[in-house]
Structure 1
């Protein structure tokens, strides 16, 4: 019988002890003496967030299919347990075995968003693993990072031994086999890292040197070891139908953020939104076969007992078999209490028909993401959505019985004017007007239109990676302009407006496009007590500003300056398939307000089809 790492006394003192005891349905138990490699898979946030992440479920299942590997899970301890662990010197432990992370061969950390960076240091610190990769010895686990933020790994480069660039199903087996060989022959940690550096998609930061110009921009980024490659190639699964997928995902004991079966229907996106990093990183589009998805739906619902299934994709409406899949799910699970969730849909007649069948319309709202209020600015960002389409979709929804609509926008987009900002309020008003055009006896009371704005953050590998940002005060001023315009509308009682925190946006901007110098700020902020920065109740902007001041790192250098087209970016050593020339071309088209057709309409020559071995079917049309 397992002995829990935490005593009953501690478990009674903390919130939600089920976060730490493991032993959930479908979790994998093995004999640690009969495996060659122990891998701790970490999501650096609270259990409820981490357990909702599909990527970890996929890798957990994939690793544990190997008889020679035992993959376990670890999450960031919540603030109450963090305090106790430090006071009582309790090492961070894995859920399955309850063994200290320090005893593992690998600590794999998925890096999904920038505001979890101090939590990564928390995980290392509580595990007793030196924060800096350069200070680790033969007894320490190999610390490897993956996920979307590794497409600019430089702000975290000092803390990781390896970064895995790309989709996890591709070269992990080669890495694990190399590690087994390393243990067998007794080679050194450095020799193993040299072997890892030879594997496609693996980036070992210590084997690269960065030099800077006097103005702080990068002068050179070069390998300092013969085993390291000048360019790291993104790893990609070509056949997503036949790759790994968890038929028995782990089922948490407590309610988590997404308490449902997740069915990934495709990867990639045909849309060319110029602000969207995921749309560029995960090109080309690759669909899962309909029959395989039907199998997964059956097996996963049966193995988990979940009562909801969600179709996951960047743009579900573009999945060619969507109609067949949705109709199958509706018919197959009718009367069985299974809800179907359909995020990332364009609101059209088919989508509304589907949602009317699968949702209780009295409890749900529909979501549109115009991103910009004016058509001019939607053309700049290449959104491919007109006001006519938005109002038509909203009108059909209202006539179908919906009364609540959410509208998502961004403020601070390139070329934005005050008129563009005010158009957010005007578009929300037009949507409300569309509702009140319905005869009174056919309406369900009043409508509610909720407009939400986040602040634009330029991301690596997007056409907007050259864009400047705003400072905190400018962002707040933009939000006030929208808010005041909302209050001036005729149907203002039906309108509601929310906006994102400006100070968090400023930090995200620095981390998104930062270089290795930014690691000093992250470490300083962590030492000052910054943790769970993506949680508003714990975020402390004053401490972060003090950390920037103490380390001499200038926020304006990363967020506010104009970048030259030929500047070397910290992430330029990574090849994602989409070429820098294409991104430059799209940036130039954006400045002219020119729209680029989506991949199904016309191939824009981004490079992803060639990189993906010609699997981008749309590009051949």
Structure 2
């Protein structure tokens, strides 16, 4: 019987103690006899959010298929337990064995969003692992970073031994084998890191030197060891039928997770080419999973978990070739068992509405549109591929089908944005409201139409055509939100339109962390030392701490946020080959400024560079 790392007294004194006890259905327990590699896999946020992360669960499942590896989970303790662990000197522990993380061979940390960076330091600190990689010795775990934010690892370079660039299923086996061989040979920590740096997709920050020009931009970025590559190439599964390791027994949380459902990944990549979207670029090319495999996975996961909802995971579900067949199967197979089917990332067309009318309670649910920009001009700039005619037609079809609630998502602060573009957000919401009253007779209406307009503020991300774009000041963002708010109030149907907007200070910090270089590590460390933690949570985010950290380190945040980059500047992430070429991104940046639309991948190949991953084929069956 496992002995819990926390006493009953502590568990009874903290919120949601079930976050920390492990032992959930389908969690993996192993006998340490015969285990050569122990892996602690961390999602640096609370249990409920981490348990909803598909990438982490895929790798947890895959690692544990190896008889010589035991992978366990760890999440960030909430503020109440964090305080107690520090007071009582309790080291951070893994859920399955309850053993201290510092005793493991690897600590893998998935980096899904920039605002978790201080939680990364919390994980290291509570694990009693030196925060800086340079201070670790042979007794410390190898600390690995991966996930979307690893495509610019530089702000965290001081804190990680290595980063994995790409999809985790590809070369982790080679990494574990190299670790075992180095251990058997009596090799040092540096010996292993040198071997790891020669594995495709592995980046060891200590083996690269950075110099800077007088203006603060990067002068050079070069390897400092023989055999270390100048470019680190992202790794991905080429064939989703052969390389994918499906989850058959998902771990079932003791408490309600943020996404309390089975997640079925139907494809990776995207054909759309939205110029602001990092995921749409770094996960190219599009790769679909076999529909029969998906049916089998759905059966197994629902049977083995007892979940009552299944969600289809994809950047753009409507682009999955066999979507209609899959959805109809799920409806026929599971609807009678009371299983709900969630269909995110769908384009709102006749098929989608027909399906959603079968799987949703229309009176309770709302439909989501993401026009992203208020005018057609700006939608062309961002290459959204969505016209107002299509949006209004989708809304009309929805209203005829019985819906009267619509959510609209936009971004403010996009490149080339004008006041007319901002006001266009209010005008589009008004036209959708008018569409409801023009389309639905009074006797068939379920009350007034309800439209929720939400705006986030644009953050340029690496490996997108907008990676060179400037951001705005916090006051600029506030002023832009005011323009939208006042224009909504001027509309005839203003009482039917609700408006929400994102916090500008969080956006500004995210922009700094997204495109920062190695010097950003100083700010992150200083902010953490001053008490910054759970920055993604509005109730714990303290921008005043970050402002103090910038002041004390002498680093100017505006250098990273407000400045438009030149296309010949060396960017902190240029040493990574993410599949899409820099030439393509520069071309798309110019296309954006010219308001020119690039067709999606199924209409015409744009020559982004990702086709080399599939032997010259951009996506299944097409050249």
Pair in the same fold by TM > 0.5? yes
1:197: which partner in 2?
A: 197
Verify the 8 A CA contact 2:167 2:237 in the aligned structure 1.
Answer: yes
Give the structure 1 partner of residue 264 of structure 2: 263
Partner of 1:300: 301
In structure 2, runs of 5+ residues without a counterpart are none
Task: Tell me how far apart the structure 1 counterparts of residues 614 and 529 of structure 2 sit (CA, whole Å).
Answer: 43
- The answer as to whether partners of 1:232 and 1:574 remain within 8 angstroms in 2 is yes
Scaled by the length of structure 2, what TM-score is found? 0.99
Q: Which residue of 2 aligns with 1:226?
A: 226
State the match for 2:33 in structure 1. Answer: 33
Does the CA-based 8 Å contact 2:102-2:141 persist in structure 1?
yes
Match of residue 449 from structure 1 = 451
1:619 CA drift (Å): 8.7
CA distance in structure 1 between the partners assigned to 2:418 and 2:465 by the alignment: 20
Kept after mapping to 2: 8 A contact 1:273/1:383: yes
Task: List per-residue Cα deviations over 1:12-51 (Å, max 9, x = no partner).
Answer: 0000110000000000001123301100000000000000
Q: Deviations over 1:397-455 (max 9, x none)?
A: 01100010000000000000001000000000000000011211121111100010000
Aligned equivalents of 2:294 and 2:127: distance in 1?
Answer: 39
Contact kept? 2:527, 2:546, Cα under 8 Å: yes
Structure 1 residue 143 corresponds to structure 2 residue 143: yes
CA distances 1:587-617 after superposition (whole Å, capped 9, x unpaired): 0010010000000111111110023433423
Question: CA-to-partner distance for each residue in 1:75-118, whole Å, 9 max, x for gaps?
Answer: 00000000000000000000000000000000000000000000
Runs (4+) off by over 6 Å = none
CA distance in 1, matches of 2:162, 2:614: 24
Deviation at 1:246, TM superposition (A): 1.1
**Equivalent residue, structure 2, for 1:75:** 75
Question: CA separation in 2, counterparts of 1:534 and 1:612?
Answer: 37
User: Aligned residue for 2:18?
Assistant: 18
Displacement of 1:259: 0.6
| 1:427-446 equivalence runs, <5 A | 427-437=428-438, 438-446=440-448
Distance 1:231 1:440 in 2: 63
Distance 1:354 1:27 in 2: 34
Counterparts of 1:459 and 1:420, CA distance in 2? 22
**Counterpart in the other structure of 2:275:** 274
In structure 1, what is the Cα distance between the partners aligned to 2:549 and 2:279? 30
Whole-Å Cα distance in 2 between the matches of residues 414 and 294 of structure 1? 42
State the partner residue of 1:486: 488
Aligned to 1:421: 422
Matches within 5 A, 1:61-72: 61-72=61-72
Q: Deviations over 1:127-163 (max 9, x none)?
A: 0000000000000000000000000000000000010
RMSD (CA atoms): 0.8
Corresponding residue SS for 2:599: coil
How many Å separate the matches in 2 of 1:520 and 1:23? 38
Provide the C-alpha distance between the structure 1 equivalents of 2:279 and 2:65, rounded to a whole number of angstroms. 29
Matched, 1:87 2:93: no
Task: Pick which of 200-209 and 243-252 moved more.
Answer: 243-252
Q: Secondary structure at the match of 1:465?
A: coil
Within a 5 Å distance, the mapping from 1:126-525 to structure 2 comes to 126-242=126-242, 243-437=244-438, 438-525=440-527
Q: What is the DSSP-based 3-state SS (H/G/I as helix, E as strand, rest coil) of the residue aligned with 1:617?
A: coil
CA shift, 1:457, in A, is 0.4
CA contact (8 A) 1:15 1:80 kept: yes
Tell me the secondary structure at the aligned position of residue 340 of structure 1.
strand
CA contact (8 A) 1:421 1:481 kept: yes
What is aligned with 2:590? Answer: 588
Do 1:406 and 1:451's aligned partners in 2 also have CA atoms closer than 8 Å? Answer: yes
* In 2, Cα distance between equivalents of 1:548 and 1:464: 25
d(CA) in 1 for partners of 2:532 and 2:184?
41
Q: How far apart are 1:210 and its partner, in Å? A: 0.2
- Counterpart residue number, 1:540: 542
Equivalent pair of 1:233/1:574 in contact (CA under 8 Å): yes
8 Å Cα contact 1:239-1:286 kept in structure 2:
yes
Contact 2:238 2:613 in 1 (8 A): no
Match of 1:602 in 2: 604
Distance (whole Å) between structure 1 residues aligned to residue 315 and residue 563 of structure 2:
31
Partner Cα separation in structure 1 for residue 246 and residue 177 of structure 2: 21
Judge conservation of contact 1:603–1:620 (CA < 8 Å) in 2: no
SS for the counterpart of 2:80 is helix
How many Å separate the matches in 2 of 1:74 and 1:62?
Answer: 17
Q: Is the 8 A contact 2:605 2:618 kept in 1?
A: no
Q: CA deviation at 1:363?
A: 1.1
* Displacement after TM superposition at 1:618 (Å): 6.3
For the residues of structure 1 that align with 2:335 and 2:574, how far apart are their CA atoms? 50
2:558 matched residue in structure 1: 556
Partners of 1:419 and 1:37 in 2: CA distance:
58
Tell me the TM-score normalised to structure 1 length: 0.99
- Report the 3-state secondary structure (helix = DSSP H, G, I; strand = E; otherwise coil) of the residue aligned with 1:333: helix
Corresponding pairs, count: 621
- Shift in Å at residue 228 of structure 1? 1.3
Match of 2:59 in 1: 59
Q: Secondary structure at the match of 2:451?
A: strand
